[in-house]
Amino acid sequence: MIESTGSQVSPSVLEPWRRTAAASVGLYFHFIRLAFLKFLAYRLRYYTGVVSYTIFVSGHYYLYTALFASRIADSGDATIGGLSLDEMITYVAISWIGRSFYFNNIARDLMRMITEGEIAMQLIKPFHVQTVMMFEAVGESAFRLIMFTLPIMVVIVPLFHIGRPPESILYLWTFISFCLALVIYSQINFLLGCLAFNMKNIQGVLRAKMVSMDFLTGVVVPFTFFPEWFQRAVEWLPFQGISYIPVTIYLGKRPGEELYAALLLQVAWAVGLFIAGRLVWRISVRHVVVQGG
């Protein structure tokens, strides 16, 4: 048989293909949009969240008010761990407002995909699952920003007289810092989710994560409350980039160069964790066992 020449490709060869950079941007933007739409369909779920976050913050509000009052009565010192009562309340409020934005459940979603075999449907598509999940997380956070974070701010900020940052520009830096927090948070979640390739059920790990993350990120209590060694240790971990860094930026605790150093540290963790996620994924996928079928 005579092979046809010219533009016609041989029937027994699959021609090489690569997505252009522009097409990649378009595709990933599309994932952001779809995730946004998906969460919009379940928006009712988030109205109760506004109530529970407000309860969290008010709990802390009364706790710290009492704590600072007794501190002043005892020693005349109006600060704990370098924070005044007003700063403390702001710290707690901004932490929870931030958490309402960057939060996602990638680890649980990935575990379900693996244990229920849905991962197969992802592996037959020409994209990186990790990148797709990250952009879906961005879409989720965009949804959260509008439908969850803003309503919470509207309730909490006037209710507890939350202070402004010392300079207005810090609003912008805080937001950027929380965006980086979103990347770090999603990549830590992704790495945890990858554990399901070997362990199958990682419910226990996820529960432990839920509790320890809020401590390690500084959402529950500022690091300055903890002993020296703990503060030293968390400096070497990525978790501070999720909450402690953005909140201290908001409070103006990072003057001048320190601000940029903190943001750069977040960028470094975001990139590092993303690369780690890519490597772990590549190794894990070889061990895929698809259930059923």
Q: Which residues in this chain contact another protein in the complex, by CB under 8 A?
A: 1, 10-14, 16-19, 23, 26-27, 30-31, 34, 37-38, 41-42, 117-121, 123-128, 285-286, 288-290, 292-293
- Give least dist CB 3 to another protein, A: 8
- Give least dist CB 142 to another protein, A: 16
CA distance 33 to 10: 38
| Pick 7 or 168: Cβ nearer another protein | 7
- Give least dist CB 170 to another protein, A: 37
- Give least dist CB 15 to another protein, A: 8
- Give least dist CB 290 to another protein, A: 6
- Give least dist CB 126 to another protein, A: 4
| Pick 15 or 257: Cβ nearer another protein | 15
| Pick 27 or 265: Cβ nearer another protein | 27
User: What are the CA-CA distances from residue 187 to residues 3, 113, 184, 222 (Å)?
Assistant: 49, 17, 5, 23
Q: Helices in 42-168 by DSSP H: which ranges?
A: 44-75, 85-102, 106-115, 119-123, 129-144, 150-159
| Pick 49 or 117: Cβ nearer another protein | 117
DSSP H or E stretch at residue 79:
strand 79-80
CA distance 254 to 39: 35
Residues present in the chain in total: 293
- φ/ψ (deg, to 5) at 80: -125, 130
CA distance 100 to 141: 8
State the CB neighbour count (10 A cutoff) for residue 133. 24
CA distance 125 to 22: 19
Classify 161 in phi/psi space as left (phi over 0), alpha (psi -120 to 50) or beta.
Answer: left
| Pick 28 or 190: Cβ nearer another protein | 28
- Give least dist CB 121 to another protein, A: 5
Best CA proximity match to 250, nearest among 85, 90, 88 = 90
| Pick 41 or 73: Cβ nearer another protein | 41
- Give least dist CB 185 to another protein, A: 23
CA distance 279 to 273: 10
Strand partners, 83: 80
| Pick 257 or 286: Cβ nearer another protein | 286
| Pick 22 or 73: Cβ nearer another protein | 22
